[in-house]
Amino acid sequence: MNIKQAKEQVESAVRAYLTKDRYGEYVIPVESQRPVFLMGPPGIGKTAIMEQIAEEMNIALVSYSMTHHTRQSAIGLPFIAEKEYGGKKYHVSEYTMSEIIAS
């Protein structure tokens, strides 16, 4: 993935998270949303991409280096939850709140 593609993917995710229905409710509930996490070697522009997107979309940015953390630190630990869609029950993966977001 190149920088342009990464930027498009992040913008798409942010737009999805900010989309509201006709009643003003988020289409993807806030409790189901997760931080956007870019991975890659140092110095390739990950933070710069996020700063550009935040400025262009007029949203806040919290930049956090994961050098000394794990994937679970960013997205939380997985667990199985029961959800109902279209009148049918399903088991789905959900995640606990991450220690970064919690703090």
DSSP 8-state assignment for residue 34: -
Q: Is the pLDDT of residue 100 over 70?
A: no
Q: Is the pLDDT of residue 99 over 80?
A: no
Name 78's Cβ contacts closer than 8 Å, sequence gap at least 6.
93, 94, 95, 96
For residues 38-66, give the mean pLDDT: 87
**pTM for this one?**
0.59
Q: Is the pLDDT of residue 65 over 90?
A: no
Token pair recorded at residue 99:
């220690």
CA separation for the pair 95, 103 (Å, rounded):
16
CA separation for the pair 65, 89 (Å, rounded):
38
Q: Is the pLDDT of residue 8 over 80?
A: yes
For residues 12-32, give the mean pLDDT: 93
Q: Is the pLDDT of residue 70 over 80?
A: no
Query: Token pair 């400025």 is at which residue?
Result: 55
Domain range summary for the chain, segments of one domain joined by +: 1-63, 70-103
Q: How confident is the model at residue 62, as a pLDDT?
A: 84
Q: Is the pLDDT of residue 69 over 80?
A: no
